[in-house]
Amino acid sequence: MKLSSRITHITGGGSDGWSVHYRALALKASGAPVTLLSMGEHDTRTDPSILAAMDAAARGGNTGYSPVPGFPSLRKAVAARIERQTGVPTGPDNVIIVPGGQAALFAAHHAVCDPGDTAVFIDPYYATYPGTIRAVGAVPRAVMAHADNGFQPLRADLDAAAKGAKSLLVNSPNNPTGAVYSEQTMHDIADVCRDNDLWLISDEVYDTQVWDGTHISPRALPGMAERTLIVNSMSKSHAMTGSRVGWVCGPAEVIHAIHNLATHNTYGVAGFVQDAALFALGQGAAAEDAVAAPFRRRRQIVMDALAGQNAVRAAPISGAMYAMLDVRATGMSGEDFANALLDAELIGVMPGESFGAGGAGHIRVAMTVADDLLADALRRIASFAGTLVR
């Protein structure tokens, strides 16, 4: 029996660049002392107070069906958070609760792209982007953000990619590059969307992890609220990756349409998880800062460990939990370097190429291990690279 071409084409074929990561995992499982810097997930777990709220909600009976678009209380809390960030009036009708940021990315593209439409995204990109676009039947089109421009996309490149497209997906703070889009970049993005009548899908899952500059949500920019869909989740901000709770925020008619999609797809998010999310949001910015604090600290550790050498250069680590390291001085591709590093030093990193052509000649280091391990690994990466520079 034949599967649908829609589902068989999601991955797009070809090498996915994850083989180094799987090799590192296998080595670690076999007992080798591998330092894994390839996982985009906190080395801490969800705060016990959030788990207590989840437990109390479940034991209190919130284990039945929940309203498909989310509990009004949680939609309201999310809307209030977005209104505080953007200054744009935002109510519960502008928000739908979905099972995580990935579900939000899928729902947002599903809502605005017809089969065959072109959906633009920025390369280097979070691994699922092209597949998510293909999964809704749209056609992915990459626009390069160049390392030499701090991985900020250029207006001219955005303009060229926007022609005939339906949507543009951006992600700031960015995985994998650690870039936080400048005010200029965000205004360019907004201009291009208005000029070309594009929907803007803004993935803001790292909005609490900003080390340089400020997080600008494009919903805040003039004329953008009506064409912007914010995608966000509790995964990175509250170390709730496993709880699968996130949202889409946008015009009420889009949210209504996504409600319809959710009715025929997820049928909502577990009520006790929503109660835990409501509790967590109620803890305010201090709780979010506490989850982000290790990455803020480790960003400095990375920069200190790489100081005084030229074999490896870090792109500006302005946000998120990653450092994108330029290894082009070694003459190797990111993938060859990552493989050689694993063999020689038992350090697992992601090749830049696994995030698209824009990541060529780079490796991505996730700052998701203890400070001393990270410092030691970075010093070993630099000294290993130094042996390769001619």
Residues that bind ligand PLP (CB under 6 A): 40, 100-102, 126, 171, 175, 203, 205, 233, 235, 241, 246
* Distance separating alpha carbons of residues 20 and 32, to the nearest angstrom: 15
Minimum CB–partner distance for residue 203 and ligand PLP (Å): 5
Question: What whole-number distance in Å separates Cα of residue 15 and Cα of residue 188?
Answer: 33
Nearer to ligand PLP, 235 or 318 (CB): 235
- Give the residue closest to ligand PLP by C-beta: 101
**Residues recorded for the chain:** 390
Closest contact distance (angstroms) between CB of 53 and ligand PLP is 19
- For ligand PLP, which is the closer residue by CB, 173 or 271? 173
Residue 94 identity: N
CB nearer to ligand PLP: pick between 101 and 130: 101
Q: Which residue, 62 or 233, has its beta carbon nearer to ligand PLP?
A: 233
In contact, 333 and 321? CB cutoff 8 Å: no
CB of 46 to ligand PLP, least distance (A): 13
Residue 126 Cβ vs ligand PLP, minimum distance, rounded to whole Å: 4
- CB neighbour list of residue 146: distance below 8 Å, 6 or more residues apart: 154, 358
Give the amino acid at 134. R
N- to C-terminal Cα separation, the chain? 55
Least distance from ligand PLP to the Cβ atom of residue 75, Å: 17
What is the closest distance, in whole angstroms, from the C-beta atom of residue 344 to ligand PLP in the complex?
28
Q: Is the Cβ of residue 104 or residue 325 nearer to ligand PLP in the bound state? A: 104
Here the contacts of 259-262 (C-beta below 8 Å, separation 24 or greater) are: 259/68, 259/69, 259/96, 261/107, 261/110, 261/111, 262/68, 262/69, 262/96, 262/98, 262/107
User: Which of 138/277 has CB closer to ligand PLP?
Assistant: 277
In the DSSP assignment, the letter for residue 216 is -
